[in-house]
Amino acid sequence: MRTKPVLLVIAHGSRDPRHAATVHALVRRVRSLRPGLRVETGFLDFNIPSVHAVLESLAAEGVRDVVALPLLLTRAFHAKADIPAVLRDAPPRLRIRQAEVLGPSPLLLSALERRLYEAGLTAADKSSTGVVLASAGSSDPEAIAVIADIAREWRHTGWCAVRPAFASASLPRTEDAVRELRELGCARVAVAPYVLAPGFLPDRIARGAAEADVLAEVLGPAPEVARVLLERYDAARTPALAAVGA
Query: What's this model's pTM, rounded to 2 decimal places?
Result: 0.94
Judge whether residue 77 has pLDDT over 50. yes
Q: Among residues of the chain, what percentage have pLDDT more than 90?
A: 91
Mention every residue, 6+ apart, whose C-beta is less than 8 A from residue 196. 22, 23, 26, 71, 73, 102, 218, 219, 220, 225
Judge whether residue 33 has pLDDT over 90. yes
Average pLDDT over residues 202-210: 98
pLDDT of residue 198: 97
Average pLDDT over residues 33-52: 97
Q: Among residues of the chain, what percentage have pLDDT more than 70?
A: 96
Which of 140, 67, 154, 174 lies closest to 105 in space, CA to CA? Answer: 154
Distance CA 143, CA 204 (A): 19
Distance CA 76, CA 45 (A): 17
Cα 127 vs. chain centroid, distance in angstroms? 27
Whole-number average pLDDT of the chain: 95
105, 135 Cβ separation under 8 angstroms: no
User: What H or E segment, with its residue span, contains residue 39?
Assistant: strand 39-43
User: What H or E segment, with its residue span, contains residue 61?
Assistant: helix 51-61
Distance CA 154, CA 172 (A): 18
Tens-digit pLDDT profile for residues 136-191: 999 899 999 999 999 999 999 999 999 999 999 999 999 999 999 999 999 999 99
Tens-digit pLDDT profile for residues 60-76: 999 999 999 999 999 98
pLDDT of residue 239: 58
Tens-digit pLDDT profile for residues 89-139: 999 999 999 999 999 999 999 999 999 999 999 999 999 999 999 999 998
Per-residue pLDDT band at 243 (split at 50, 70, 90): very low
Per-residue pLDDT band at 6 (split at 50, 70, 90): very high
pLDDT of residue 181: 98
Judge whether residue 2 has pLDDT over 90. no
Distance CA 198, CA 34 (A): 25
